[in-house]
Structure 1
Amino acid sequence: MAARNITKSFFAKSQSEGVGATVRRCIGGSRTLDPFLLCDIFEVTPPSGFPDHPHRGFETVTYLLEGAIAHEDFGGNKGIIGPGDVQWMTAGRGIVHAEMPASRMPSRGIQLWINLARENKKIEPAYQDLKDKDIPRAKPEPGIEVKIIAGESFGVKSSVFTRTPTMIMDFKLEKGKKIAQIIPKDHQGFIYVLNGIGYFGGNQFKGEEHNALFLDDDNNGDHIPVEAKDGDLRFILFTGKPLKEPMVNYGPFVMNSEEEIFQTMFDYDKTTNGFERAKNWHSSIANGVTELQ
């Protein structure tokens, strides 16, 4: 088997986002990696948060590490995710929602935006909610644990349906442990180091806490080796199959052309063509009504 290498990395600095939240951005703006549009490691404490806002044309994956986050949308869907839980939201043809902290302590997590293929951009909104206890783990040997949010590791598969082929996994390695994760040859990907120091790829690239590491796209590579030489290590692996379609990104809207973006802005402004339920809708959680846990 040929190993993938790490070709570039950077330190994800903390910056302001939303209303009083802070994020460390791995992907976003001019730095995209088909099919990924954005990846933020966020931290938010009441009354800060992400009040009512729209989306169209992609999916959001929220993986909570600490605290609690409440969600509410214009279709009447409500819920709270806690540590280790995942909410996989398909915005499709349009949704307006709010995400606000539901814990007095800081809530920290990861939000990933995944682009949808042209034929999926106008589907109805949908959710896949996963509790921590229901997310499968692989433990190939003592001192190694892989939490499989999407994809497959060591014969253990996630139940998540990925409209855009995607792998998301949370790895924990004790000091001295090594692992080799299989990656489809047609996937691109990156790694975010949550804690510790690791050596990644066939070139043994050193990655430290808050580093974003990008895999090469050599189609001969079918796995990524990782070693925790210097202490315990925790990192998240993201890979996806590129859509290779035209993309126009305008804030919370991602379509295939400028004309489709203009149409989306018109639809949102006039509350039509998927945004009908946005008319006169305001979430309760954006006003701080959510019961804190």
Structure 2
Amino acid sequence: MPETNMSNVLKESRPVVRKFQARPQHEGVGAIVRRSIGRFELKYFDPFLALDEFSVTAPAGFPDHPHRGFETVTYMLQGAVTHEDFEGHKGTIGAGDLQWMTAGRGIVHSEMPAAQGTQKGLQLWINLSSQHKMIEPRYQEIMSKDIAEAAKDGIKVRVIAGEALGTKSPVYTRTPTMYLDFTLKPGAHLQQPIPISWNAFVYVLDGEGVFGNSRSLPVVAHHLLLLGTGDGLEAWNKSSKPLKFILVGGEPLGEPVVQLGPFVMNTQEEIDQTIEDFENYANGFEKARHWRSEATLGLDY
């Protein structure tokens, strides 16, 4: 990851080449998500498979379900979610906390509300290269107080992955990734370097901002912006309220993608094998045979 120095002037700011509004849809059991990547118009943005802004209130949630072949990154914005899997791994992440889960060869887990009211957050799916799809599952969990932060010139950033304002995240990304949560005060101007060969996007969470070109029209919450080529992102907050958005970038894998719901492999044969493994509790799914999450016991799922 190249060194980030906010005093550097970008040689070529990345333009916004496509813009999507993420509209609410149903997912899981009774949950509402705004999906911006992984929808009909944008199935895949290498290496990113999906981005959901989720909203869930008990008893709705995401009961026991499998994954193979990629990573899920859950970043809580409000409330709390309890997660557990068939390996006995269990925990709760609250507002500002992060879980970076590498599903690898196979995991079955649940994600259910752990607090009263509505729980909100972001979940990003990052593809794994063919050489890493069948690795053992692993977790990186970081509490909000331990996420690296920096501030300068009206800009605050939480460095979930990568580097910004001279501050680096301790998170290990098997597929090279940057994930930055920015808040810009009114009048603030951001210049954030991005590796030239990487794909990158912005998702606006709150407020309104100008991205890519100072003469562009402002963009408001729940919009995804795909960035074109260049060495970084420029953003301006020309409004009277704070602007909050995430900037995510990743090194493209350049490999074929065959996806069937929560299974993402490189060929149809590998997908067929994954279905067979899941149905027969084999090759990473052995413990699914007799497991059910505690959070869903007694619920009619």
TMscore range, shorter length: over 0.9
How many correspondences in the alignment?
Answer: 285
Letter in 2 for 1:67: G
Deviations 1:75-118 (A, max 9, x none): 00000000000000000000000000001110000000000001
Deviation at 1:204, TM superposition (A): 4.4
Partner of 2:295: 285
Q: Quick check: 2:214–2:236 contact (8 Å CA) kept in 1?
A: no
Q: Give the alignment's Cα RMSD to 1 decimal.
A: 1.1
Q: Distance in 2 between matches of 1:242 and 1:204?
A: 30
Partner of 1:122: 134
Aligned counterpart in structure 2 of residue 261 of structure 1, from 254, 271, 274: 271
Partner of 2:8: none
Partner of 1:63: 75
Q: TM-score of the superposition, structure 2-length normalised?
A: 0.93
Q: TM-score of the superposition, structure 1-length normalised?
A: 0.95
Deviations 1:110-136 (A, max 9, x none): 000000001100100000000001000
Aligned counterpart in structure 2 of residue 179 of structure 1, from 171, 181, 190: 190
Deviations 1:24-49 (A, max 9, x none): 01100441100000000000000000
Matches within 5 A, 1:234-253: 234-253=244-263
Q: Distance in 1 between matches of 2:19 and 2:90?
A: 37
Letter in 2 for 1:174: K
Letter in 2 for 1:20: G
Q: What SS does the corresponding residue of 1:118 show, helix, strand or coil? A: coil
Q: Distance in 1 between matches of 2:50 and 2:222?
A: 16
Q: Distance in 2 between matches of 1:65 and 1:156?
A: 21
Q: Distance in 1 between matches of 2:113 and 2:74?
A: 13
Deviations 1:163-206 (A, max 9, x none): 00111111001111111011000111111111111000136432
From the superposition, tell whether residues 127 and 288 of structure 1 become closer, same or farther in structure 2 (CA, over 3 Å).
Answer: farther
Letter in 1 for 2:172: F
Q: Quick check: 1:202–1:224 contact (8 Å CA) kept in 2?
A: no
Give unmatched runs, 5+ long, in structure 1. Answer: none
Deviation at 1:67, TM superposition (A): 0.2
Letter in 1 for 2:167: V
Letter in 2 for 1:224: L
Deviating beyond 2 angstroms after TM superposition, the runs of 4 or more aligned structure 1 residues are 202-206
Partner of 1:222: 231
Percent of matched pairs sharing the same residue:
53
Q: Distance in 2 between matches of 1:8 and 1:169?
A: 20
Q: What SS does the corresponding residue of 2:196 show, helix, strand or coil? A: coil
Larger deviation, residues 238-247 vs 197-206: 197-206
Q: Distance in 2 between matches of 1:2 and 1:110?
A: 29
Matches within 5 A, 1:1-293: 1-30=11-40, 31=42, 32-141=44-153, 143-202=154-213, 204-205=215-216, 206-216=218-228, 218=229, 221-231=230-240, 232-287=242-297
Q: Distance in 1 between matches of 2:114 and 2:165?
A: 35
Give unmatched runs, 5+ long, in structure 2. Answer: 1-10
Deviation at 1:11, TM superposition (A): 1.3
Deviation at 1:287, TM superposition (A): 2.8
